Amino acid sequence: MKKNESSLTSLIAAFARAYHSKFDTPKIFDDFIAKDLITEKEFANIRENMIQGIQFFNKDITKKYQDHPDEIIKWVTQVQLSPTPLSRAAYCENVLLNEISLGAKQYVILGAGLDTFCFRHPKLEQSIEIFEVDYLATQEFKKQRLSYAEYPIPKHLHFVSMDFTKDFTVQPLVEAGFKPNKKTFYSFLGVSYYLTKEENSNLVNQLFTEVPSGSSIVFDYADDNLFKEKGRSNRVQNMVQMASASGEPMKSCFTYNEIEKMLENAGLLIYEYLSPDTINNEFFQERSDYLSAFETIHYIHAVKK
């Protein structure tokens, strides 16, 4: 990401969640606040850009629905944009709510973007401290949007500015009020592929050095077919190309054994692993629309021994 620019991918992900909340049935993940963090003009511009760019995604759909822009944006959103942001958020929050019931006191959102968990679950204010970690520009952008939408920032929400590509440490978290001795849950969604393998490994090691046993993390990662697999309607290839064009190129992919070894080195055990097929069965079964799990993307819940 370019210096002082808010993340374009975070805005597109918020658009996908907002579109799903407004138009799709049944809901995989209902982020009913996402729309409030995107201006009407931005929503319209993203929609129009996706419609105008349909030839990049699928020339057959261009011909089939050339006079039906609503069907084109539905196709682009449901096939290309929404599947991973929706299903990984649904999975992560299911795990998180269970972890809170099991005693987690801190929730650290790495690469938070325009996350809305804090505002969708106001009743948890007394139960958990939330730390949103992202680039400074992205966080300033989000604060502006929260102010514009008249969402006051609650006391249990803390913003921590950080660049994951630099030498990662937990010190900025500690300075924001993070307590290393408290049971913690981390989410690390939509970020691992933008870091090198070494950066991913260092980050996980640093996160779990001091937190107590039972602390855990949910993250998604791309498998070793990321740069070879085209996917349904070339959507995997499109994802890689769009990331590069936006200035946020994808850098890493892993075999399961590599992920297992990285976590083991950090003192973690894999508690649950979801393959693309498992994700499809759990979140996309019996739908009549275009939504289906993304090829090459896997989910992990790992727990400190």
Tens-digit pLDDT profile for residues 107-131: 999 999 999 999 999 999 999 999 9
The pLDDT confidence band at residue 3, using thresholds 50, 70 and 90, is: very low
| Together in a domain, 147 and 278 | yes
Task: Find how far residue 220's CA is from the centre of its chain.
Answer: 8
Q: Among 226, 249, 240, which Cα is nearest to 56's?
A: 240
Residue 1 is assigned to a structural domain of this protein: no
Burial of 219 from C-beta contacts in 10 A (0-12 / 13-18 / 19+): buried
User: In the predicted model, what is the mean pLDDT of residues 39-56?
Assistant: 93
Q: What percent of the chain has pLDDT above 90?
A: 91
| Together in a domain, 43 and 59 | yes
Residue 20 is assigned to a structural domain of this protein: yes
The alpha-helical segments, DSSP class H, found in 102-180 are: 117-120, 136-148, 171-175
d(CA 62, CA 72): 8
User: In the predicted model, what is the mean pLDDT of residues 199-206?
Assistant: 96
Residue 97 is assigned to a structural domain of this protein: yes
Residue 3 is assigned to a structural domain of this protein: no
| Together in a domain, 259 and 300 | yes
Statement: residue 1 has pLDDT above 50: no
The pLDDT confidence band at residue 6, using thresholds 50, 70 and 90, is: low
| Together in a domain, 208 and 246 | yes
Residue 41 is assigned to a structural domain of this protein: yes
Q: Among 179, 191, 178, 213, which Cα is nearest to 305's?
A: 213
Indicate the residue among 81, 101, 135 that finishes a domain. Answer: 81
Query: Tell me, what CATH number does 180's domain have?
Result: 3.40.50.150
| Together in a domain, 51 and 148 | no
The pLDDT mean for the chain works out to 95
C-alpha atoms less than 13 angstroms from C-alpha of 292 in its C-beta half-sphere? 14
Burial of 175 from C-beta contacts in 10 A (0-12 / 13-18 / 19+): exposed
Tens-digit pLDDT profile for residues 256-281: 999 999 999 999 999 999 999 999 99
| Together in a domain, 156 and 293 | yes
Q: Is the separation of the CB atoms in 216 and 302 below 8 Å?
A: yes
| Together in a domain, 62 and 152 | no
| Together in a domain, 256 and 111 | yes
Statement: residue 2 has pLDDT above 90: no
| Together in a domain, 193 and 296 | yes
Tens-digit pLDDT profile for residues 289-299: 999 999 999 99
Q: Is the separation of the CB atoms in 83 and 62 below 8 Å?
A: no
Into how many domains does the chain fold?
A: 2
User: In the predicted model, what is the mean pLDDT of residues 1-20?
Assistant: 76
Residue 276 is assigned to a structural domain of this protein: yes
Residue 2 is assigned to a structural domain of this protein: no
Q: Which tokens belong to 35?
A: 């729309």
Indicate the residue among 50, 81, 112 that finishes a domain. Answer: 81
Q: Is the separation of the CB atoms in 6 and 246 below 8 Å?
A: no
User: In the predicted model, what is the mean pLDDT of residues 186-214?
Assistant: 96
Indicate the residue among 53, 81, 109 that finishes a domain. Answer: 81
Q: Is 120 helix (H, G, I), strand (E, B) or coil?
A: helix
The CA distances from residue 198 to 125, 166, 224, in Å, are 35, 11, 16
Q: Among 164, 158, 230, which Cα is nearest to 191's?
A: 164
The pLDDT confidence band at residue 167, using thresholds 50, 70 and 90, is: confident
| Together in a domain, 143 and 43 | no
Q: What pLDDT, on a 0 to 100 scale, did the predictor assign at position 166?
A: 81
* Domain that includes residue 297, residue range: 84-304
Q: Is 175 helix (H, G, I), strand (E, B) or coil?
A: helix
| Together in a domain, 59 and 98 | no
| Together in a domain, 170 and 135 | yes
Residue 57 is assigned to a structural domain of this protein: yes
How many helices (H) does the chain have, and how many strands (E)? Answer: 13, 7
